[in-house]
Amino acid sequence: MSFLFKNIEIIDKNSTFHQKKVHLYIDNQHKISGIYDVNENPIFLEDIIIKDFAGSCASVGWVDMYAQLGEPGFEYKETLETGAKSALKGGFTSICVMPNTNPIIQTKNQIQFIKNFTYQNPHIDLLPIASVTIDNLGKDLTEMIDLHYAGAVAFSDGDKTIENSDMIRKILLYLQKFDGLLMQKSEDVYLAKFGQMNEGETSTFLGLKGIPNLAEEIIIQRDLKILAYTKGKIHFHLISTAESVDLIREAKKQGLNVSCSMAAHQIAFTEEDLNDFDTYLKVNPPFRTKNDQLALIKGLLDDTIDVLVSAHTPQDSESKLLEFDMADFGAIGLETAFAVSNTFSTLSLEHLIDKMTTIPRKLLQLSSEKIEMGEKANLTFFNPNEKWVVKKENIVSKSNNSPFLNQELKGKVIGIYKNGWIE
């Protein structure tokens, strides 16, 4: 079946149709075979589904660089299937799947397990991130070259920080053989031990053990130092402090090959929101201060922070309906990442979309895609101005631990096209 999407504004810096309103024709081979001026009225003889999306936009399909999907091992929180549904609902046609499962994703077979899902569900690319140390323990290296050829798009211990500096040195050197990417979570385990939230004024009033900014910054500083020594490249995911932004900005200036991401929810909350002990706001890294938040937004604007990610971390209600210090960290984010970024950041739409398409594709060395005649359609359709309220009953993730429940957000995904139309 072919499709005609009418009155769509193209948001794609790499396209000659960028910021133009067009009718988009996708043929039954999933190729973009017609891009028409809105005044034209093309006639098709075949069976065609026509959708008029006046007021809405289309961009290349979005990429998320950080999602936890729970399968295998934590199927009660999320499965590949529910995670994929959640991603598609949020407009993502490619998502990086972190290896913190049980067992850990660290062998060819396990990479294949993730990739098989995409063979059977061609609307989404699940991009496996392979563990870089065996069992995420930070002690022994996984077979990175083999995993790379098996399809791992990057390497990471996911939500675990690699503590040992010598391991970082070895990994950064070893990955250079195939220009591989290390994704590091930055949190010094000793400085952050037993921490429940940001160390700051709020934690002092609540008597909760804090996670100091220092815990994040010390790892970033150390790893940048190692990177300067080894060369290669590193990506810090989920950065959260003002000084982390400064450190990375400075390193980029010096020409180091470093990139980073932040969780979209960081621009919506600060530590003060935790006064009510809401476990749905217990995330890691924790919500910091207003000052950190402003620095993060500045980092997004000047591209020190390359990408915004969902930081999708599903938790079943038994892991959240608990005393604050017993509850697990994490929030789901795939279904709200775009709307949250669009609502709370000061990024232009074009810039935001760039951070969800072109930039992550480049960092992950995925094929570049654009909206042009003859290209295969990999598209996300969205209305940046439509307001909607996050409702528990509408969440398709298996977990509902969203910090945005019952909040109004601006920017709604209409659907995606990738080997077919999904809305």
Q: Which residues bind other proteins (CB under 8 A)?
A: 193-194, 196, 199-201, 203-210, 212, 276-277, 318-319, 321-326
Q: Indicate the residue among 119 and 190 with the shorter CB distance to other proteins.
A: 190
Q: Indicate the residue among 319 and 397 with the shorter CB distance to other proteins.
A: 319
DSSP 419: S
How many other C-beta atoms are found inside a 10 Å radius of the C-beta of residue 302? 10
Q: Indicate the residue among 62 and 280 with the shorter CB distance to other proteins.
A: 280
Q: Indicate the residue among 81 and 325 with the shorter CB distance to other proteins.
A: 325
Hey, what are 97's tokens? 């799947």
Smallest gap from residue 243 Cβ to other proteins (A): 16
Smallest gap from residue 210 Cβ to other proteins (A): 8
Q: How far apart are CA 117 and CA 335, in angstroms?
A: 20
- Maximum distance among all alpha carbons in the chain? 70
Smallest gap from residue 259 Cβ to other proteins (A): 31
| Peptide bond just before 384 cis, omega within 30 deg | no
Hey, what are 304's tokens? 């020190």
How many other C-beta atoms are found inside a 10 Å radius of the C-beta of residue 208? 20
Beta strands in 209-283 (DSSP E): 210-211, 234-237, 258-263
Smallest gap from residue 331 Cβ to other proteins (A): 18
Q: Indicate the residue among 15 and 399 with the shorter CB distance to other proteins.
A: 399
94 within 8 A of 362, measured Cβ to Cβ: no
Rg (CA), the chain: 21
Helix (H, G, I), strand (E, B) or coil at 245: helix
316 within 8 A of 399, measured Cβ to Cβ: yes
36 within 8 A of 42, measured Cβ to Cβ: yes
Smallest gap from residue 201 Cβ to other proteins (A): 4
Smallest gap from residue 324 Cβ to other proteins (A): 4
Q: Indicate the residue among 61 and 200 with the shorter CB distance to other proteins.
A: 200
Smallest gap from residue 97 Cβ to other proteins (A): 24
Q: Indicate the residue among 195 and 360 with the shorter CB distance to other proteins.
A: 195
State the DSSP string of 101-157: SSS-S-SHHHHHHHHHHHHH-TT-EEEEEEPSBGGG-SSSB--HHHHHHHT--EEE-
